[in-house]
Every structure is written in C-alpha cells, then in structure tokens.
Amino acid sequence: MYGKMNVLFYPKKSERNDYGMVMLYARITINGKRGEFSLGRRIDEQRWDSRGGKLRGTTTEVSNFNRFLDNVKNRLYDIYDSLLKEREDISATIIKNIYLGKEGKEYMLLEIFQEHNDEIESLLEKGFTKGTLQRYKAAFKHVSAYIQHSYHRNDIPVRRVDYKFITGLEFFLKSQRNCEHNTAIKYVVNFKKIIRIALANEWITKDPFFHWKASWKTKEKQYLTQTELDTLREMQSFLPRLDLVRDIFVFCCYTGLAYSDVQQLKQEHIIIGVNGDRWIKMPRKKTKAISSIPLLPPAEEIILKYSEHPYVLDGKGVLPVLTNQKSNAYLKEISDVCGINKNLTTHLARHTFATTVTLSNGVSISTVSKMLGHRSLKTTQIYAKVLDSKIADEMDLLKERLKEQESPKPENETPSKT
C-alpha cells in the first residue's frame, strides 16, 4: 500500500541572491520519504505565505505565480494517480524524475525476452540452431505464465526482477508446470541470459542472480546394455517405418553421433583413416568440434543397407533420416516391441556408444572424448562412471581368487620350519 502523497512549496534560504531573492523548491513526500527539486523561480521571502504555500498579494503578477504553483501541484498529482494504475513501485523520487523529464524509457521484461528470441530466429544456421530457439521460446512462455500467475499482469519492468522473482519462478516451474528439478533449472538459466542483456545495456544496475546459483541434481544417464542392444539389432518384426528408425538408432549406438549430426552426415564426411579403414570425420553441429570415428561393422552394414535409397542416391545424405520428433515417437513403439523397459530417445543411443560400446570394452576415456567430439574431457567423464557389468565381472574374478586362497592345502605339504 502507498501512503497519501503530499506536496509542499518552500523557499530555500541558503540560495539567496544579491538582491535578497530566494529560490523556491517543491518537496514531494510519500511514506515519509522525500523528493525535492527547484522550481527555477525566485521570490521575495517576505511575501511568502508558508501556511498557504503561495505568495501574498492581489496583483496580476502574484496571481499568475500562484496559478503556476497550482499547475505544478496538479501535474505532480496527475503523475501519482497515473502511476497507481500503471505500476506497483512508486516513490517521491520517481515522481520527481518524471516531472523533470529525467525518467528514461521503461524496459519491460518480456519485451526484452521477445527481442532476444527474434534475434536468434533471424540468425538460425548462422550461429544458432532451431533447438536453441525452441528452448528460449519455451522459457519465454514459462516466464510469461509465471508473471500472469504471480503478478496478475502481462509484463513487468525488468528492474522489478529480484531474488524473490527468481526463486519464485523456480518454484512455479516445479509446482505449476510440473518440471523436474534439472529442467526447471535449465529454464531459469535460459532466463538468466535476458537479465545479463539488461545489465549489459545498463537497464538495471544490480544483478538479481548474484545470490542464486544453479543447483543440478546428478542423474544417472540411461543406456542400453549389450543384451538390449543385441535384441534391438536382431528384431525382425518391425514395420518399415520402425525398421528405418531402429537402424538409425543402432547407427548412433555404434558411432556416437548425435541425431542432428546424422541428419547432416554426407559422403564427404566419410574418409579413409590412418589405419586404412573408413572413418567419419565431421564437425558437430552443436559445438563445431571435430568428431573422428572409425566405422564399426554394424554401422557399415546400415550404410550399405540404405546405399540404394532414393534419398541417398539424390546426394541428400548418407542415411534417410526422419525428424527427431517423429523418430522419438517411433522409438517408444520400438521399445515396446523389443520389451526394453527404457525411455528410448535418440540421445540415449549416444550414451550407449559411450558406455556399452566403448568404455565398457576398454576404450580409453580420451579416445571416447575425441570420437564424441567433446571439447573438454570433463564432459566425457560423466559417462566414465564404473558400470555395473564391469563391477560384476571384476568381483567375480575377486571371488575366484579368494576361493583359491581359502582352498585346503595338499595333505603331503609340510609346514615350513621357523
């Protein structure tokens, strides 16, 4: 709630000129806080009526001056009334600045967000991907819904964003939009970029994210075991559309390529490597880092299978790839047919390559990192956790050794003398 605004005119005695005339000031008071400014007019202090807040006298000059004071006061109250309807934060300083023409443009949060998204859309394939644009569009919708839910407005000034707004957005995403923890954090991080833009342009003076830190929950990455991968490869009872999606998925399992990279895979990306075998050598769409991947037999078989496909013959790519969205939908059907109780997605194939196909078979983490096209080894280390199958194998070996150590000694063996 905002208290009543009071306006007071008073002469500032400390600003007296050589003729004894003093400068007249206006003082705005709201909730005990003041905003003062000079009216740029000097008066004879002896003629000032402090109780009435005007000059004493009946001359035309006095009447015109008092009318000027009434206009100033009316303008200040008009500003106050207007702000009560338009915004929630009102202060004597804000009203003073608006009156003096010092109140700059009000930068609105969603307007800035929309301009950012429009810029990304105009730069698609010139540094930004459709996936990036979709993430920011989704974040925009969530922030917009949060503002309507919590502030009952269509937009708010960017300067209104504070720590409470940020934590409230995170809670809203989890409670009202049913986002998992890491998903909610991703949206808040996307939103953080908009605040960085506002800071860089000096539309705000403080970083509301200063005390907020993204807290990610470690999540076990799913992948197919060798048995599940074999089941998927050997399954024959697929419809043609499912057969294609299965093959592309298996190809990703044996190359580690992301789905977007398989879509861009051309014949020019398949070269003869240092060992005389065929390799895939191409820049990743996401990071532009070069992936260097020797083609394993299962991957070669799939390339050969589709070598006569019209899509391939037309030079559009090495494999006839469907959209990622459609592929993920078909993969759900495939998992049911194969009895695989996992959420098959195109990215799970990449995880399978990193774990089941390579790391669990003794390929070094640095080699896997190079094949995956990671810029940092730290990125690859998330796949390098000890696999359950590896633990089982090594523990079986340990059990055998312990049995050997505990087995009874031969009866003819005599203990050594000490």
Q: Which of 75-84, 158-167, 294-303 has the lowest mean pLDDT?
A: 75-84
> 109-200: which CATH architecture?
Orthogonal Bundle (1.10)
For 192-233, how does the pLDDT look when each residue is reduced to its tens digit (9 = 90+)? 999 999 999 888 878 999 999 999 887 777 889 999 999 999
For 52-102, how does the pLDDT look when each residue is reduced to its tens digit (9 = 90+)? 999 999 999 999 999 999 999 999 998 888 888 765 568 888 889 888 887
Q: Which of 159-163, 218-222, 293-297 has the lowest mean pLDDT?
A: 218-222
- The pLDDT assigned to 343 comes to 87
Q: What is the pTM of this model?
A: 0.57
- The pLDDT assigned to 418 comes to 45
Reported CATH class of domain 226-391:
mainly alpha
Q: Tell me the percentage of the chain whose pLDDT exceeds 70.
A: 92
Average pLDDT, the chain: 87
Looking at the DSSP bridge assignments, the partners of residue 27 are: 8, 36
Q: Boundaries of CATH 1.10.150 in the chain?
A: 109-200
Angle ∠(363,328,343) on CA atoms, nearest 5? 65
| pLDDT classification of 104: cutoffs 50, 70, 90 | low
Q: Boundaries of CATH 1.10.443.10 in the chain?
A: 226-391
Q: Tell me the percentage of the chain whose pLDDT exceeds 90.
A: 51
Q: Which of 54-63, 301-310, 323-332 has the lowest mean pLDDT?
A: 323-332
